[in-house]
Structure 1
Amino acid sequence: MTRRQLSRERVLAAAAEVADADGIAALTIRAVAGRLGSAPMAVYHHVANKDEILDGLVDTVFGEIDPPVPGRPWRPELARRCRSARTVLARHPWATPLLDSRRRPGPATLAHHDAVLGTLLCDGYDARAAGHAFALVDAFVYGFALQEAAIPFAGDALADSARRIVDGLAEGAHPHLARFAAERIGPDYDFGDEFDVGLDLVLDAVGTLRSPGGRAG
């Protein structure tokens, strides 16, 4: 069987597989080479070092997020973009802390940022307001992604864990926590459901930054 020829795209795809499976700490040139069935030196023909792999991975992640379309109403476009970002970051939980950490942004990263800013600038936001809005929505999306990835339980397991914690409290201790667990955390509770509620609140706040006379989103 003929071995597939290595390329930068294959190296980055293998690096993403390593990070998805074992976390970003496990990402090494040797691990990527092992995933590809190649010698480490062969990988160096396509990327100079691990830092270049990280640059490429961040660009790959931004390329997977559906960008908003400048010229369309800002609110539905940003909402769609934020929901897409949450889905992508759940698929790559290692990526969130890296997204704004690279000094050499790639073409997908630049195109994505340009689209977000363009959507705002074309629909009633000046440059200062667009910057505030961009920072706010990303703080929410990135923060939610980190929190969602950190929760160790879901569904019935989350409800059972909350019940055990509350049952272990001394009588009368932390009554608000006990009430919340009793009234809110049940078998059908999904922390992910909080995303759309929070996103609507954030977008309401973003709307207050628009210049007077801008059309409604």
Structure 2
Amino acid sequence: MVVIPGRGADVPEAIDPERLWLPPDRPRLGRRPKYSRERITAAAVELADEEGLAAVTMRAVAARLGVAVMSLYSYVPDKDTLLELMVDTVSAGMEFAPPTDDWRADVRALAGAQRALMHRHPWLVAALPQRRTIGPGTLAALEHALAVLAPTGLTGGARTEVFALISGFVASHVGHELAQRRALETATPDFAAAQYRYLTTMAATGAYPHLAATLTEPPAPGDPDTTFTRLLDRILTGLTP
């Protein structure tokens, strides 16, 4: 899913997209492998889901599988490669409805699917800026985005940029949602009221006239889904002339 990495010289040599994502020209000879990239990646995803991205190390994944850490390196050479596999594996789990004649509704649905994916796998927010290439799971999301944005009349390159823009917004917003959730879990019961009293006191000093005017307005609906859609619509409004 999601944010598209740089091209050409921007991609470090340590990750070879062809070797990582394309099948080998010839099948592997000899004994059948005891493990697989898919099994190792699944173990890493489970670990990240339970304990966060920082808990994912080659040693920790090996321990989860009950094997020696060195036995993993012939399947996954390093943690950077494992991260690429993890992101693409979970991205492949998104399901997309066929494009309709309403591209804005289709983009909302795509963004909603991305948001739901990141809430299922909160470590994605931290993992996305670290990824270097784009695998088949993410390519499926890109292909869908190009299709639903076709009615806008934008070029393919511009539609790719829009996909990156929307994906970046979703990742940033979910990161904010997760941080707010953690903050509320530790906040005192009267935190919100104290915050409002503080702001109104500061606004009453006259030093913040725009804030004072804002505080007199009726509050916007504050439930998470409504807030997400409202902010996304602000972006969609400016996408086309």
Question: Which residue does the alignment assign to 2:193?
Answer: 163
Report the equivalent of 1:202.
Answer: 235
SS in 1 for 2:201: coil
Aligned length: 200
The residue that corresponds to 1:52 in the other structure is 81
Match of 1:66 in 2: 95
Question: Which deviates more from structure 2 when the two are superposed, residues 82-91 or residues 22-31?
Answer: 22-31
Percent of counterpart pairs with the same letter?
A: 35
SS in 2 for 1:172: helix
Q: 1:153 to 1:97 in 2, by over 3 A?
A: closer
TM-score (norm 2): 0.68
Q: Which has the higher contact order (CA 8 A, sep 6+)?
A: 2
Structure 2 CA distance for aligned equivalents of residues 78 and 196 of structure 1: 11
Matched, 1:139 2:168: yes
- Are 2:149 and 1:112 aligned? no
Residue 96 of structure 1: CA displacement? 2.1
- By how many angstroms is 1:189 displaced? 5.2
2:72 to 43, 49, 52: 43
Structure 1 unpaired stretches of 5+: 210-217
- How far apart, CA to CA, are the structure 2 residues paired with 1:74 and 1:159? 42
SS of the residue corresponding to residue 118 of structure 1 reads helix
Deviation at 1:86, TM superposition (A): 0.4
Contact 1:71–1:122 under 8 Å retained in 2: no
Residue pairs, 1:1-217, within 5 angstroms: 6-67=35-96, 69=98, 73-99=102-128, 101-121=130-150, 123-151=152-180, 152-153=182-183, 160-166=190-196, 169=198, 172-174=201-203, 176=211, 184=219, 190-206=223-239, 208-209=240-241
Q: Cα 1:52–1:174, aligned 2, differ >3 Å: closer, same or farther? A: same
Whether the aligned pair in 1 keeps the contact of 2:92 and 2:138 (CA below 8 Å) is yes
1:47, distance to aligned residue in structure 2 (A): 1.2
Looking at structure 2, the residues matched to 56 and 108 of structure 1 have their Cα atoms a distance apart, in angstroms, of 10
Q: Considering only aligned residues, what root-mean-square deviation do their CA atoms show, in Å?
A: 3.4
Gaps of 5+ in 2: 1-33, 205-210
Deviations 1:22-71 (A, max 9, x none): 22122101111122222212322421111110110111132123346457
